Structure 1
Amino acid sequence: MQVSIETTSGLERRLNVVVPAVRVDSEVDSRLKKAAQNVRLPGFRPGKVPMNVMRQRFGPGIRQEVVGEVVSRSFQEAVVQEKMRPAGQPNIEPRTLDAGKDLEYVATFEVFPEIEVAEMSGFEVTRPVAEVTDADVDNIIEVFRKQQGSWDEVERPAEMGDKVNINYTGTRDGEPFEGGSAEDSDLELGSGRMIPGFEDGIVGMKAGDEKNLELTFPEDYQNEELRGATVNFAIKVNSVKSLTLAPLDEALFKLYGVDEGGEEQFRKEVAENMTRELKNAVTNKVKQQVMDAVVEAHRELEVPKALVAQEADVLRKQMFQQFGGAAPEGLDLKSLLPDEMFKDNAERRVKLGLILSEMISKYELKADPARVRETIEEMAATYEDSEEVINWYYGNPEQLASVESKVLEDTIVEKLLENATVHEEACSYQEAINQAQAQG
Structure 2
Amino acid sequence: MQVSVETTSNIERRMTIGVPAQEIDQAVQKRLQETARTVKMNGFRPGKVPMRVVKRRFGDSVRQEIVGEVMRDNYIKALQEQDINPAGWPKFEPKTMEEGKDLEFVAIFEVLPEVELGDFSKISVEKPKAEIADKDVDTMIDNLRRQQATMKSVKRKSKNKDVVLIDFKGTVDGEEFEGGAAENHKLTLGSGQMIPGFEKGIVGGKAGEELEIEVTFPEDYQNEDLAGKPAKFDIKIHDVQEPQLPELDAEFFKKFGIDAEDEGTFREEVQKNMERELKQAVSNKVKNDVVEGLLESTELEVPTALVDQEIDRLRQDAVQRFGGQVDFQQLPKEIFEEQARRRVKTGLLFQEVVKQNDLKADPAKVDEKIQEIASTYEQPEEVVAHFNSSPEQKQQIESSVLEDAVVDLILDQAKVKEKKLKYEEAIQAGQQQR
Report the TM-score when normalising by structure 2. 0.90
Residue in structure 2 matching 1:365, options 351, 359, 362 = 359
Q: Given that residues 152 and 241 in structure 1 are in contact (C-alpha distance below 8 angstroms), is that contact kept between their aligned partners in structure 2?
A: yes
- Does the 8 A contact of 1:393 with 1:400 survive in 2? yes
Q: In structure 1, how many angstroms separate the alpha carbons of the residues matched to 2:57 and 2:244?
A: 84
Number of the residue aligned with 2:166:
166
For the pair 1:436 / 2:430, whether they are aligned, the reply is yes
- Residues 1:154 and 1:282: Cα distance change in structure 2 (over 3 Å): same
Q: How big is each residue's C-alpha offset from its partner over 1:344-369, in whole Å with a ceiling of 9 and x where there is no partner?
A: 32222112212222322332222222
**1:91-138 Cα distance to aligned partner (Å, 9 max, x none):** 111111111110111111111112344553353322222222322222
Which moves more between the two structures, 70-79 or 38-47?
38-47
Q: Structure 1 residue 328 and structure 2 residue 322: aligned?
A: no
Aligned with residue 413 of structure 2, among 419, 425, 431? 419
Partner of 1:236: 236
Runs of 5+ unmatched residues, structure 2: none
SS for the counterpart of 2:241 is strand
Secondary structure at the counterpart of residue 196 of structure 2: coil
Residues 308-387 of structure 1: pairs in structure 2 closer than 5 A: 308-322=307-321, 324-329=322-327, 333-334=330-331, 337-339=332-334, 341-387=335-381
Relative to structure 1, is the Cα distance of residues 387 and 69 closer, same or farther in structure 2, using a 3 angstrom cutoff? same
Deviation digits for residues 230-275 of structure 1, max 9, x if unmatched? 4443333222222333222222111111223422221111111111
* Partner Cα distance (2:172, 2:407) in 1: 54
Find the counterpart in structure 2 of residue 5 from structure 1: 5
Q: Write the distance in 1 (CA, Å) between the matches of 2:179 and 2:46.
A: 77
Match of 1:212 in 2: 212
Letter in 1 for 2:299: E
Deviation at 1:149, TM superposition (A): 2.4
Number of aligned residues: 434
Which whole-Å CA distance do the structure 1 matches of 2:172 and 2:344 have between them?
Answer: 48
The alpha carbon displacement at 1:413 in A equals: 1.4
The residue that corresponds to 2:195 in the other structure is: 195
Report the CA distance shift for 1:249/1:115 in structure 2 as closer, same or farther (over 3 A).
same
CA contact (8 A) 2:315 2:329 kept: no
Change (3 A) 1:173 1:291: closer
Measure, in 2, the Cα distance between the counterparts of 1:24 and 1:432.
Answer: 65
* Residues 402-433 of structure 1: per-residue CA shift (max 9 Å, x gap): 11110111112122222223222232222211
Question: In the TM superposition, what are the counterparts of 1:37-186 in structure 2 within 5 Å?
Answer: 37-39=37-39, 47=47, 49-118=49-118, 120-121=120-121, 123-171=123-171, 176-186=176-186
Q: Take 1:255 and 1:370, find their aligned partners in 2: how far apart are those partners?
A: 34
Does the Cα contact within 8 Å between 1:258 and 1:265 map onto a contact in 2?
Answer: no
Greater Cα shift, 220-229 or 346-355: 220-229
Secondary structure of the corresponding residue to residue 89 of structure 1: coil
Q: Could you tell me the percent identity over the aligned residues?
A: 49
Measured after TM superposition, the shift of residue 22 of structure 1 is 0.9
Moved more, 413-422 or 227-236: 227-236
| CA–CA distance in structure 2, aligned partners of residues 11 and 203 of structure 1 | 60
Change (3 A) 1:128 1:66: same
Q: Structure 1 19/199 Cα, relative in aligned 2: closer, same or farther at 3 Å?
A: same
Structure 2 residue aligned with 1:389: 383
SS of alignment partner, residue 156 of structure 2: coil
Q: Secondary structure at the residue paired with 2:88?
A: strand
Deviations 1:150-192 (A, max 9, x none): 3222222222222222333445566655444433332222122
- Give the SS at the match of 1:106: strand
Distance in 1 of aligned mates of 2:227 and 2:125: 38
Cα distance 1:32–1:430, how it changes in 2: closer, same or farther (>3 A)? same
Shift of 1:225: 4.5
SS of the aligned residue for 2:90 comes to strand
CA distance in 1, matches of 2:39, 2:240: 84
CA distance in 1, matches of 2:47, 2:311: 53
Q: Displacement of 1:400 after TM fit? A: 1.8
Q: In the alignment, what sits opposite 2:291?
A: 291
Shift of 1:79: 1.7
Structure 2 CA distance for aligned equivalents of residues 43 and 167 of structure 1: 79
Alpha-carbon separation, structure 2, partners of 1:45 and 1:208: 89
Instruction: State how far apart, in whole Å, the 2-side matches of 1:394 and 1:266 are.
Output: 31
Deviation of 1:397 after TM superposition, in Å, equals 2.6
Unaligned runs of 5+ in 1: none
**Residues 1:236 and 1:423: Cα distance change in structure 2 (over 3 Å):** closer
Q: In the TM superposition, what are the counterparts of 1:25-36 in structure 2 within 5 Å? A: 25-36=25-36
TM-score after normalising by structure 1:
0.89
Specify the alignment match of 1:249 in structure 2.
Answer: 249
